[in-house]
Amino acid sequence: MSKVFKKTSGSGHITLYLGKRDFVDYVDSVEAVDGVIKVDPSGLNGRNVFVCLACTFRYGSEDIIGLPMRRNIWIQHLQLYPSTGENATKSPMLEFLLKKVGKQGYPFSFQLPTNLPCSVALQPVPNSTGKTCGVEYEVKGYISHTALGTDEVIDKQDTCHLIIRKIQFAPVNNRPGFKVHISKQLMMTDKTVHLEASLEKEIYYHGDPITVNIKINNETTKVVKKIKVSIEQLTNVVLYSSDTYIKTVCSEEFGETINANSTFERSFQITPLLANNRDKWGLAVDGCLKDEETHLASTTLSQGDNEMQGILVSYQVKVSLVVCGGGLLGGLTGRDVTVELPLTLMSPVSAGKNSKVLSEKRWINVLNYEYLLKDKELHIL
């Protein structure tokens, strides 16, 4: 706990201290946001000192005609000075900060609810300026007669704030991946093409190659001339309404030919990287602090019983067979055979991070698939 983050107000009368800026969401609970504000009473002039924690959805990079392009999804205020007698429980983090700050330090602790989204940003257009759209968390200390939300105008010189992140790590225990099977009858034939696709494991880490196992049984007289494997990011933006945006983050074509009345089995690897998607406006990426490097947004995990607002992210692997019709009509009778598999893309627990294991409760991707789940096998409805 040697590193401390702090921010002092322009007036110098309050200073915000945090021991860290990343707070882990374990699906069934979230790490408490603990901190301390150092107060110099000499410049308060009868006013109070407050601290608030806000989860904000910014849906525009700049203010338009004086209106803020953001909405608070969740916000909570605490009065620190004069003390209300409701002292924060002294966690090891608070004990460390209070020892560093001294007698003028006033501790606080926020407990985030589990139905709030993680910190996510939407990739802006190249060369854009201003704040990016997305979900962000901010701890703010301020001097005022009353808590924010009243008509009182607070001088910016009497405020100090730090951006923090709410993050999720991949569950420690990985499981076998999903399997999807589809049988499709093509035009002008009474025979079918059977396609089975599966993933080796359920969770993949950012930057790791994703292995897709494919089995094909072509009972028709047509020829499969190539196989397309792609990964799509599904971003569900939930605010006043719910809208889902789908962007392909990785796609490759494999020139495998599966002749009529033949079978095929092979594994393919593809790797989705943010570096290959820098030009895609609106792509969801994990929230970052200042100029830190980031990556594609992690899959949002949920217990399934909470309604979230903000930006929720999931992924799917799409496998398509491009079938050549053949005969006099050629490509007119050809048709793609496609299946989709849920994919969980996340970061592992880093060294030095709290490695508490996620709850044994079954967590789910927040976007529902039109599948019937049975013994880890998905059957197209």
Average pLDDT across the chain, whole number = 84
pLDDT at 373: 38
Above 80 in pLDDT, residue 334? Answer: no
pLDDT confidence band for 159 (50 / 70 / 90):
very high
State pLDDT tens for residues 47-81.
Answer: 999 999 999 998 775 555 556 678 899 999 999 99
Categorize the per-residue pLDDT at 330 as very low, low, confident or very high, splitting at 50, 70 and 90: very low
Beta-sheet pairing, 134-144 with 159-167: antiparallel
Q: Residue 247: exposed, middle, or buried by beta-carbon count in 10 A (0-12, 13-18, 19+)? A: middle
- Res. 356: pLDDT tops 50: yes
pLDDT beyond 90 at 127 = no
Q: What is the pLDDT of residue 291?
A: 67
3-state secondary structure of 117: coil
More confident residue, 173 or 276: 276
Q: How far is CA 372 from the centre of its chain?
A: 25
Residue 258 CA to residue 217 CA, distance in Å, equals 9
In tens, the pLDDT along 7-45 reads 999 999 999 999 999 999 998 899 999 999 999 999 898
Asked whether the predicted pLDDT for residue 240 surpasses 90, the reply is no
Lowest mean pLDDT among 76-90, 156-170, 237-251: 76-90
Residue 376 has pLDDT above 80, yes or no: no
Predicted local distance difference test score (pLDDT) of residue 149: 59
For residue 325, pLDDT beyond 70: no
Number of H helices, E strands in the chain: 1, 24
Q: 3-state class of 42 per DSSP?
A: helix
Who contacts 321 (Cβ-Cβ below 8 Å, separation ≥6)? 193, 195, 216, 224, 227, 228, 258, 336, 337, 338
Q: Can you give the pLDDT at residue 357?
A: 47
Q: Of 179 and 331, which is predicted with more confidence?
A: 179
Taking the mean position of all CA atoms in its chain, how far away is CA 111? 20
Candidate from 81-90, 113-122, 138-147 with smallest mean pLDDT: 81-90
The enclosing H or E element of 140 equals strand 134-144
Each residue of 275-304: pLDDT tens digit? 999 889 999 999 887 767 889 999 999 866
Residue closest to 229 by CA, chosen among 340, 377, 324, 315: 340
**What percent of the chain is modeled with pLDDT above 90?**
61
Task: Answer whether residue 164 shows pLDDT above 60.
Answer: yes
Average pLDDT over residues 318-323: 94
Identify the CA nearest to 197 among candidates 320, 299, 370.
320
Amino acid in the structure at residue 163: I
Contact 372, 378 (CB under 8 A): yes
Least trusted range by pLDDT, from 14-28, 155-169, 191-205, 339-353: 339-353
Q: Which two tokens stand for residue 156?
A: 């910016």
User: Between 48 and 152, whose confidence is greater?
Assistant: 48
Spatial contact of 210 and 271, defined as CB atoms under 8 Å apart:
yes
